Amino acid sequence: MIINLQIKENKIKEEKGFILPVLLITGVMIVLMIIAISSATVTNKNVSVKGNHRVNAQLAADAGLDYGMNQMNTVPDWTGTGGEITLMDDVAQKIKTTYQVVVTDGSDSTKKTLTVTARTYFPSTNATPTATRKYDLDIKAVTSGVGITSVVTGVGGLLLNSNSKITGGDVVVNGTITVNNNAQIGLSSTPEANAVNIRVAHTNCPSPADATYPRVCANGENGEPITVGTTGYIYANVQATNQTNGSRMFNPGLIPNQTVPPTTLPDYDRDAQKAAVVTTIAPTDSTVACGNNQTKTWPANLKITGNITMGNNCTINLSGNVWITGNLTFGNNSKMIVPSSAGTTTPVIMVDGSEGLVIGNNGTTQANSSGTGVYFIAYWSNSSCSPDCTSLVGTDLKNSQDQVRINLENNGSAPGSILYARWSRVRVSNNGAIGAVAGQSIELGNNAVINFTSSVPGSSNLKTTWVKRGYMRVYN
């Protein structure tokens, strides 16, 4: 009995000796677990905070990239922000984000790099960022739209007949285009990438004309703006309001479902040239009258009060602008020369007469070594305001647009020169060279093959847009 009690007592003592270490070990493990959990919580919080800072820096970088692209396409020659721009400054959260954009020129003028550096500051008063994101965005200038144009017409439109051809220069028409009798625009051999651009606004309604003329025709009103006969061809990039028939249009031909806005015909400061007149002379005065086989030099800022007819083999050297209140007619083999001293400054000859300008019988203009020809502007119109009309609408415009007031005929030639009938028609009816031509209407016929070498002043509506090429994060 005594032995059993002793054994039980010893067993109790052994159990007490075992529980204590277990308690100690358990306590230590609990403490370690608490420490580990607390440490993990702190670490997770730090990671979360840093992650939040990085996210904010990324958002700032995205904002900087968007801002940079917008500035490149709206501000000429933009070079960057010049420093940090604050995107966010949260007083309650004590956090601030910024971005900075630097523009670097590329290997040529069409390439640039936007370097965007975005930063997060916490607290916002810190001078050192807690997170940074940096990106290089490669961009390229892409040019689109109708380029410098060599044929621009108003509502009277463009008419090609009798084997006439336009083989160079873009064509912009407010009214209509008619191509008949083996006439064509563009060349079948020209690659699509270099194709002539044709833009037609279909702005010749209503028909018959009333006080609202001209306006853009509604879909289905007054037919379609481009008509190509069975023997006509167009090899061009063609866009035209209300045009659905792309027959006989190639390379690439008609681009469907396009709306082309009307084009403003070239403007010129007529009043300024009139005010600048220094010398006023009658057409019979020996200073300006040029008979057979004579050579004359017309002074700059000249006004001639009447009609001028150049004699056979007459040569006129131009010194500058001329205002002719009557008509100007070239004689057989007569010549008008732009001197080398003019450089790229084009002399302007304003012709106000009811017959306008006639260049024929091998008459010609001679451009200088810079390729500068003469800019002829005929101002007559069938209106009481003629020749000083500043605008023309309604029946006055309708009754003026098809009246020929510039006529290039019988092997007349105007290389490098610009022919512009402000309210009337230009007619070209031979193979003579032309720099460019503009008018309310233009008519080409009788084998006229025109490879235009100049552009109508103010005719460029090219648009350059910077687009993304590549996007790379910078780690430094």
Are 464 and 143 a contacting pair, CB within 8 Å?
A: yes
Cis before 214 (ω within 30):
yes
What are the residues whose beta carbons fall under 8 Å from the beta carbon of 314, sequence distance 6 or more?
290, 291, 292, 293, 294, 295, 296, 331, 334, 335
Q: Which tokens sit at 105?
A: 């020129």
Angle at Cα 213 formed by Cα 208 and Cα 214, nearest 5°? Answer: 115
Euclidean distance between CA atoms 403 and 383, whole angstroms: 12
Q: Which of the pair, 147 or 23, is modelled with greater confidence?
A: 23
- The residues spanned by each domain of the chain are 47-145+461-476, 149-262, 270-450
- The whole-number pLDDT of residue 451 equals 66
Identify the burial level of 148 via C-beta atoms within 10 angstroms of its C-beta, where 0-12 means exposed, 13-18 middle and 19 or more buried: middle
- The whole-number pLDDT of residue 304 equals 98
Neighbours of 106 (CB within 10 A): 14
How many percent of the chain have pLDDT more than 90?
64
Euclidean distance between CA atoms 127 and 350, whole angstroms: 67
Section 25-49 average pLDDT: 60
pTM, two decimals, is: 0.68
What are the residues whose beta carbons fall under 8 Å from the beta carbon of 421, sequence distance 6 or more?
356, 378, 404, 405, 406, 438, 439, 440, 441
Confidence of residue 383 (pLDDT cuts 50, 70, 90): very high
Least confident of 46-60, 232-246, 335-349, 411-425: 46-60
- The whole-number pLDDT of residue 47 equals 55
Q: Which tokens sit at 261?
A: 């806005």
Q: Which of 442, 471, 429 is nearest to 115 (CA)?
A: 471
Are 426 and 442 a contacting pair, CB within 8 Å?
A: yes
195 alpha carbon, distance to own chain's centre:
17
Query: Tens digits of per-residue pLDDT, 32-43?
Result: 666 655 555 545
Neighbours of 83 (CB within 10 A): 8
Confidence of residue 359 (pLDDT cuts 50, 70, 90): very high
Neighbours of 71 (CB within 10 A): 17
- The whole-number pLDDT of residue 31 equals 62
Query: Tens digits of per-residue pLDDT, 449-465?
Result: 776 767 788 765 555 66
pLDDT over threshold 60, residue 48? yes
Cα end-to-end span (Å), the chain: 86
- The whole-number pLDDT of residue 160 equals 94
Cis before 123 (ω within 30):
yes
Q: Which of the pair, 165 or 299, is modelled with greater confidence?
A: 299
The amino acid occupying position 415 is P
Euclidean distance between CA atoms 406 and 326, whole angstroms: 13
- The whole-number pLDDT of residue 471 equals 76
- The whole-number pLDDT of residue 144 equals 46
Are 455 and 437 a contacting pair, CB within 8 Å?
A: no
DSSP 185-239: ES-TTS-GGGPEEEEE----BSSS--TT-SBPPPTTTTS-SEEE-TT-EEEEEEE
Identify the burial level of 58 via C-beta atoms within 10 angstroms of its C-beta, where 0-12 means exposed, 13-18 middle and 19 or more buried: middle
Section 231-248 average pLDDT: 95
Are 434 and 151 a contacting pair, CB within 8 Å?
A: no
Neighbours of 52 (CB within 10 A): 16
Query: Tens digits of per-residue pLDDT, 91-126?
Result: 888 999 999 999 999 887 778 999 999 999 999 899
Mean pLDDT over all residues of the chain?
87
Query: Tens digits of per-residue pLDDT, 185-208?
Result: 988 887 776 788 899 999 999 999
CB environment 221-231: b (16+ within 10 A), e (fewer): eeebbbbbeee
Largest Cα–Cα distance in the chain? Answer: 163
Are 444 and 161 a contacting pair, CB within 8 Å?
A: yes
Q: List 332's β-bridge partners, or say none.
A: none
Confidence of residue 434 (pLDDT cuts 50, 70, 90): confident
pLDDT over threshold 90, residue 326? yes
Q: Give pairs for 303-309: CB < 8 Å, separation 24+.
A: 303/274, 303/277, 303/279, 305/280, 305/281, 306/282, 307/283, 307/353, 308/283
Section 220-224 average pLDDT: 94
How many percent of the chain have pLDDT more than 70?
86
The phi and psi torsions of 72 (rounded to 5 degrees) equal -60, -30
Euclidean distance between CA atoms 430 and 413, whole angstroms: 9
Are 351 and 377 a contacting pair, CB within 8 Å?
A: yes
HEC sequence for 91-106: CCCCEEEEEEEEEEEC
- The whole-number pLDDT of residue 45 equals 53
Section 50-56 average pLDDT: 86
Confidence of residue 146 (pLDDT cuts 50, 70, 90): low
